[in-house]
Amino acid sequence: MGGREELQKKLANEGAFLYSTGSQDSKEEPGVEEESADVVVLPRRLLAADIPAAFRKIEARREEGGATVDFGGVEEFDSTTLALLSYLRSRSSDTRIINVGEKLGRSFEVFMGGTPPAAFAGPELDLPIRVLHSFSDRFLTQMRKAEKFFILLSDEITHTASYLRERRGVYPGEIWNQVFFMGNKSFPITCLLIFLVGVTIAMTSAAQLKLYGADIYLADLIGYGMLRELVPLMLGVILAGKVGAAVAAELSTMTVLEEVDALRTMGIVPERYLMVPRLIAITITVPLLVALADCVGILGGILVGRITLGILASAFIREMFTAVDLGDFLIGLVKSVIFGWAVIVGAGFKGLTVGRSAGEVGRATTESVVLSISMIILIDCVFAVLTY
């Protein structure tokens, strides 16, 4: 009983939670009051369904200047009753609790004992202050994330450069594994989507060009549009969805399962071991995909030109090369490689900074796709300003 008495004393000293071990004890408690208009006497059965009514009654009494809540009659209770008790305990300034029975008290001790009331009762701030707090918190969180992102980006540049110099710190053969993985994952969907984009753009443009008798300029439009804009952009989005999501999911799972910590404690730098092979692999894979996607997209245009406008393939290609040159192809290629890096760095950032729960894996994956696509559009915009 020693510990129990001590606990009762402690709680009684807090002035918030008068603990009774039986009816005779409760009569001896100085704070116990007989039932009166000021006292909210709780019913014998106080389960989740009964809590709202009791809570409303207590709150009404509190608003009138303070409430005394009598738990003496409570015999049937559940976790919500304990939560109510905990809440009332945290509102000691205007709420007194009396006659908590032994059974309820013991359950409270066991279930809620480790939870300090402060955890429930934050200081109540005015609305404008709360809004300001929330805004500043979010702003600072975003700034911290941006800082982490740029640190990771600069780390990756350093690690990749030092790997290319020393050829150490990466698992043997991992780069080619990643090339195969990325190429294999992106190749079919890239072919299909870019072909369809080529067809769609050609069909939309063909109808307009026909009106002005400028049918042959379809070749110029498709060639220029595909090489410089549509292939890089579409490929970037496909990479973000297929490769970026897979990388983010893999890295975040590794983080959650402590595999990243394990690498670090083995003296292996995870930012190098995990990211450098992927960055080099995407640098190898993207040019191949760009070349392929350019061909497939133009093929879509040629098909539409032949079917809807009757343009011969040879005429289409000859006309296209009067409008585009190697520079256009290279601009598209460079853009695509940079989009690829953005996808991998975005996925790595989300994957390696994930929390510790399994639920965070899905969130990190989704966020990595959003981040990658946002970066791709931003970089594309910068390219447009610089190159047009």
Q: Where does this chain bind other proteins (CB under 8 A)?
A: 1-4, 7, 106, 109-110, 168-169, 171-172, 254, 257-259, 261-268, 273
CB closer to other proteins out of 65 and 168: 168
How would DSSP label each residue in 207-257?
A: HHHHHTT-TTHHHHHHHHHIIIIIHHHHHHHHHIIIIIHHHHHHHHHHHHT
∠ CA 227-229-234, rounded to 5°:
100
Nearest to 198 by CA among 217, 215, 216, 223: 223
Contact 78, 49 (CB under 8 A): no
Q: How far is the CB of 189 from other proteins (least distance, A)?
A: 23
Nearest to 87 by CA among 44, 42, 40, 122: 122
Q: How far is the CB of 265 from other proteins (least distance, A)?
A: 4
Cβ neighbour number for residue 185 with a 10 Å cutoff: 17
CB closer to other proteins out of 78 and 109: 109
Contact 300, 198 (CB under 8 A): yes
Contact 77, 100 (CB under 8 A): no
Q: The sheet that has 39-41: what strands, in order across it?
A: 17-19, 95-100, 67-70, 39-41
Report the C-alpha gap between 351 and 368 in whole angstroms: 8
CB closer to other proteins out of 229 and 259: 259
Q: How far is the CB of 376 from other proteins (least distance, A)?
A: 28
Report the C-alpha gap between 174 and 284 in whole angstroms: 13
CB closer to other proteins out of 203 and 268: 268
Q: How far is the CB of 386 from other proteins (least distance, A)?
A: 37
CB closer to other proteins out of 301 and 348: 348
Q: How far is the CB of 4 from other proteins (least distance, A)?
A: 5
Q: How far is the CB of 167 from other proteins (least distance, A)?
A: 8
CB closer to other proteins out of 37 and 266: 266
Environment class of 297 (CB within 10 Å of its CB; exposed 0-12, middle 13-18, buried 19+): buried
81, HSE (Cβ side, Cα atoms, 13 Å): 26
CB closer to other proteins out of 262 and 370: 262
Q: How far is the CB of 41 from other proteins (least distance, A)?
A: 26
